[in-house]
Amino acid sequence: MSLPAGWEQGTHNAHREQTPAWLTFTDADVYAFWYEDAHLALVRFRRDDERLLFVIGQQSRQGLHLSFPGRLFTDRVLDEVEPIFFAAVEEPDGQTEQLALGAYFHAGEAAYGAYYAPGAAVLEVSLFRIDNTGNKPELTSLVGREQEQAAALFVERYGDQLKMGKA
């Protein structure tokens, strides 16, 4: 089979740039988050509870450029964050808010999670210290100096991507 001029094997970039490449799933939810410095997308299929992880590369008007990071990386990240990826937090008024992990990062020996409410109109970030060492992972609210330090580190690492921390 011969290919048209400009379509030699592996040289389809010109055509791809002109074609919108948005990808939607009718049976899965997609959650973008940072694992340390890696910007990732967790695709969680509702049926069969299947999960896939992708590295988010360049973002453009045509969509996201995703790559598969390999099974070893995927398993390592999911083993670490899956037990704490979703959290139900009780508000002062007694309501429960469902949150998803937006960033997982370390400061020294401590692990932290920045959580957000998926689908919320305004991005509000809640920070927690994560203890993932026991049989049941625990999230602890931050107060005082630890809250300030974790918030400063979060804004330093992810603020530009989220357009935060700039006056």
Residue 4 carries which DSSP code? Answer: P
Helices (DSSP H) in the chain: which residue ranges? 13-18, 71-81, 144-162
In the chain, where are the structural domains located? 13-79, 84-162
Percent of the chain predicted with pLDDT > 70:
83
Helix, strand, coil percentages in the chain from 3-state DSSP, rounded to 5? 25, 40, 40
DSSP, collapsed to helix, strand or coil, labels residue 147 as helix
Q: Which helix (H) or strand (E) holds 98?
A: strand 96-107
Strand partners, 71: none
The Cα-based distances of 70 to 50, 53, 54, 74, 156 in angstroms read: 16, 9, 9, 6, 28
Residue 21: pLDDT over 70: no
The pTM assigned to this predicted structure is: 0.78
For 60, the token pair is 């453009």
Read off the pLDDT of residues 30-49 as tens digits, 9 standing for 90 and up: 999 999 999 999 999 988 88
Question: Would you place residue 13 in the very low, low, confident or very high pLDDT band (cuts 50, 70, 90)?
Answer: very low
Q: Are 128 and 142 in contact (CB under 8 A)?
A: yes
Q: What is the chain's mean pLDDT, rounded?
A: 82
5 has pLDDT over 80: no
